[in-house]
Chains A and B, each alone.
Chain A
Amino acid sequence: MTTLDTPPLTVVAPGRAARAWRTLRSSRTALVGLAIVAVHVVIALLAPLLTSYDPIANDASHALLGPSWSHWAGTDQYGRDVLARVLYGGRYALGVSVTATVLTVGLGTVLGCAAALRGGWFDDVLGRVLDAVLSVPAILTLLVVVTALGTGPLVIVLAIAVVYVPQVVRVVRGAALAVVPADYVTAARARGEGTWAILRREILPNITDVVCVEFAMRASWVVLLISSLSFLGFGADPPTPDWGLMVAENRTAITVVPMASLAPIIALATLVVGLNLAADGLSKAWGVDRLREGS
């Protein structure tokens, strides 16, 4: 990669974007994945139009009903409509996950690029600290942060950033290291440009593909982690409609009303399958080694 003589980026940027879009369109896997995610986003946004039930209204006289015309997916132990809770549940899952992923990948990208660009003691110290953070189980870190600061969505977003930034930094640093020795970066340094300017104008445009794949993959992990946290009772507070929480609530009644547990499971699984397909398709279309990213 060191002898890669790419023309100045001001000329390349639009071409790159167009090419990226072309390869994206040709990848069926990526398109199917993105379509699934898009459907989830639309459902979450339009939830109030799709169901007339209130997802948190108790109705003791209609508790634990099986599927029927008035309740397509039945009701749970408090008589709440399961379908309504599943439809609204996407709001919490998507809202928190997207915010957390944007923050994690953004912070990780900046730190990873900076580590690759600056090198030296900054790189060493950062690497050591991140390694130390990685050595403590993610769920333990999350639980400690959440018990200390409360279970608000903002706290969960911050906690997830703490847990996943180290892995993003590793991936982005690896990708950026391949770009740093390029002639145009040396030229920009010789012109006396600052770290931030080089990072934004020279490095970032060349690792956009890696960052995009990382985003899709990380989002799938974040969704899973947040749902696990809710399942354990440290995430969304009852009666918030959330898929992980719904499984925890309805698990004991799984033989009576299986749909109350299955519906949120299906919603959760399809969202993550969509994100995984998008990550797979993007990495194949853009030639990013996703397996290397798994680490």
Chain B
Amino acid sequence: MFSFIARRTAAGLGTLLLSSVLVFLAVQALPGDVATQVLGKDATPDAVSALRGQLGLDQPAWERYVDWIRGALHGDFGTSLVSAKPVGGEVAMYLGNSALIALITVLFAVTGSIVLGVIAGLYRDRWPDHVISTAGLVGMSIPEFVVATVLVLCFSVALPWFPAVVLYGPEASVGQLLPAVWLPALALAIVMAAYIVRMARTSVIDVMASEYVTTARLKGLSTWRVVTRHALPSALLPTLHVIALNVAWLAGGVAVVENVFNYPGIGKLMLSSVQNRDLPVIQAIALISAVVYVACNLAADLGAMALNPRLRTRGRTR
């Protein structure tokens, strides 16, 4: 078991190293001179060469890569070309705001889709299943910005319960942002749940058809106990994996939805830094997303192991 964990961790670190190289190459290999692009076409040659020196562009690429990685390991991602502040602190601030949305999204999406998936699986091919499956198909078929727009129309315009846009900057406290978090999280959760419901439904159907569930029923266990004891854990297992795989998607979805609500999160920072060609910020965001992605996949692997009855019961003597 420990060798399994060690092997997965090593593979994750390898992926991470490779993606850091890819990110660095992709950003550095952007056509055109970075200094010229940042300063604009009318910049004087002196200013361009000064910025090149400041950015370290006169050094060979591999040296810059090593410097960048060494800094990143110590939490130093360089200085933003736009705000002239340290990138690490800036990204962390925006990331914290987005984490609030992501956390609520995952909570909504997981509870909602597991409940709906179990219902759909138990009432297979009857009306609750048809309703849930159709709703899931529609949820999969509309982009996040549409869900967000419709939610704004319903819960900000028609019923003024939640703010339609956030008026605070990135320094806003959790208390200030909290009223604005629900609609973006709901929009993302709806799209995300649409995918997870299918997964949960299929695994519930598989489990309910299995022999040990038949045995449990013959033993006289109530449906409720069969569902909580057998159907739910097996529906959780693939769900974990879908969530981990969706982390990269979540970052993209967050970018779109945050744009709709003007929410000061990582997605907004991503868009503005791409527009301003703020390369250190882009690199930092990409690297941090890669770390989160790899960590979530690792966690899903380990979680799947923990939930797998064969591995879980190994320690017990019963």
Contact = CB atoms under 8 A, between A and B. Distances in A.
A133 B26 CA distance: 11
Interface in B3-20: 14-16, 18-19
Contacts of A139: 251-252, 255-256, 270
B189 interface: no
B275 A147 contact: yes
A136 B145 contact: no
B64 interface: no
A231 B256 contact: yes
Interface in B95-153: 137-138, 140-146, 149-150, 152-153
Interface in B206-258: 238, 241-242, 245, 248-249, 251-252, 255-256
A131 B20 CA distance: 12
A220 B143 CA distance: 10
B289 A140 contact: yes
Given A128-B14, A135-B248, A138-B249, A269 B289 contact: no
Contacts of A43: none
Interface of A: 128-129, 131-141, 143-144, 147-149, 220, 224, 227-228, 231-232, 244, 247-248, 251, 254-255, 258, 261, 265, 268-269, 272-273, 275-277, 280, 291, 294-295
27 contacts: A128-B14, A132-B15, A132-B21, A135-B16, A135-B290, A136-B22, A136-B290, A137-B252, A138-B248, A138-B249, A139-B270, A141-B26, A143-B270, A144-B282, A148-B31, A228-B256, A244-B143, A247-B145, A248-B145, A254-B157, A258-B153, A269-B141, A272-B142, A275-B141, A276-B141, A294-B198, A294-B242
Interface of B: 14-16, 18-19, 21-23, 26-27, 30-31, 137-138, 140-146, 149-150, 152-153, 157, 195, 198-199, 202, 238, 241-242, 245, 248-249, 251-252, 255-256, 259-260, 270-271, 274-275, 277, 282, 285-286, 289-290, 293-294
